Structure 1
Amino acid sequence: MEHVIFVPAIYHVDEISQLASLLSFIDNRIAVKDKKIILYLYSNRQVEDKDINYLKTLPVSQIVIYENDLFSDWEQPYIEAITQHINTIKPHAVISTSSDFIKSILARVAARFSCGFAVDCTDLIFDESTHNYSFLKPAYAGNINAKISVKNSSIVFATLKIKNVAECSFEAVDSKVEIVESLFEDLKPFSGKIKIIEKNLAQNIDNKLESAKIVIGVGRGIKDKENLKYAFELANLLNGAVGVTRPLVDMGWLDKEYQIGQSGKIVSPQIYFAFGVSGAVHHIYGIGNPKLIIAVNKNKDAQIFKIAHYGIVADATSIMKSFIKAFKSRLKGC
């Protein structure tokens, strides 16, 4: 009997590199005969050929691409589609990335099936003899890894926060790709019990944080929201991206899309600059394993210095300005 893992993904939310890391992780962790990993990619526009060709190299048994105009910023079409597909393919587990949008969708789908839902997990354990799943996620400020078991559940639902693989290399496989262009033709955009009164769309963010080779990390040590402009200026100079700690998001300085850490994004830069970052374990988990970490903090005992390759005990904003000046000088004429 096949053991089916259903991976739902959203084209305009999940980066293809994230899916590569997730699918590779699932393939490695779940070692069972007749395993079948099925990827369903939901999109409100045509999926690019280069992305389809790349998806076909991933460790999946089948890829189904659903294209429909209703797949946008409204959750209901995804809920209906995923529910229908679960009823069709009858998976043993539904595992996805851990974006806020997909978590909101899968929570509602899991409730429809009266199943448990483990979110923001960092690892999974699969028992080959019983086919039972359990998951790990940090608890007590990251001091322990809590083990979560989903009991008495016909389907296991979970989202995983997996550190991106900078370069994935898979054996060439000929995954079957099916493209479905129409879905729920009679479903009206605002049908059902929920009435949309007003939409306030966040400003489009093109920070490319999860794929950046260089990340400028910023914490409370920069003291003033206005000083964020120096982080963005430095990121632009180095063709990098800006990421922040959770307190800056909580204070409203930047959108959550910029947050790095266990409750934010998992990144995998080659170089990570930490300006005014204390080094809390939840944030450190999110930066992956950079080849070079340069930390600047006025507190010589800051935790960030324990993992930094180079540390500067100084005012974070002042050093940022100095770096900008130095890189402008070096890059002039390049």
Structure 2
Amino acid sequence: MDKKQKKVILLTNENVNMNLPKILLGTNIDYLVVLYFGKDSHENLKLLETIQKFLKNRDKNSYLKDVVIISQREYLANDLMVEAVITPADIQKFRYFEFVNRYENCEYKSVGDFLISCAELLEYRYDIYNHKNPWVYHQNDTDVLIITEDSLEKIIDNYHKIKCTNPEIIISVFEKKENPKLIKLLKLIGSDAKLNVTFVNDTSISYTKRSDVYIYIEDKNFKNMGIDFINDVLFYTDYPHGLETLKEYMGIPEKNFEADIFYDEDKELEKKEEKYYQLQVYPGNSLKREFSFEKEDLVFNVGLQKKYILTKYQV
């Protein structure tokens, strides 16, 4: 099979409709699509929405692979769901044609590797889509944010760059007995989330009512197990039934986000019940992906791969 030709195509709001057919019909060409973001945020997002409409995979969680945004302003690839964002030191002096020539003649297997290799030479900063260990991402049309000791500084430094993500679920992971910095961040950005869930592997960790529920997992890999659990719930076949089932079982009410001048946050927090649950993971016992109840436990079978059992826990 002949190797496909690499080609860069620059899209703006002015030329996008004219050039889209080239990309869609260019079966023998591997296009790197570069979107130019100017000063008008509304026009920038309009351009991105146009590209998403035509190029986004049917997979709701997929990002736009081989789509790179070039901008004088910093954005986050995970927020905009693109391969990468590059920010030249001086966009007026950016050597775009050298960038094109280097890419079209490079041997790199991934766009990310190429962008990293040229960053110092062509004087730009970059943010590449992180699908292995993200702190913000999309799962089945739901925006998720993860607060951990590792992601704390990244969130503080970059949260202001978010333009398209409104975290509906915030997952926090507490590993220490006291977590004042994480709790402070949860206070700052967690009030608008539909669900705040905290995973712990030590029942002596202090409780904060900034969280809706603590879920205890007795395993050193509890962080990844907890995140996988939420992702599996979100990716339940009948979305958003999975999330609704989980919240109903744990007794977490729907939140009212309407503005209320009489709202007293401290009083509302005091009213909240401390909720503890334990999560255990076992091999699955059915091909079906389904929820069921066994006595007072919530059982979530994810095919033959695994089965989650959520149990109310007395601390």
TM-score by length of 2: 0.26
> Larger relative CO (CA 8 A, sep 6+): 1 or 2?
1
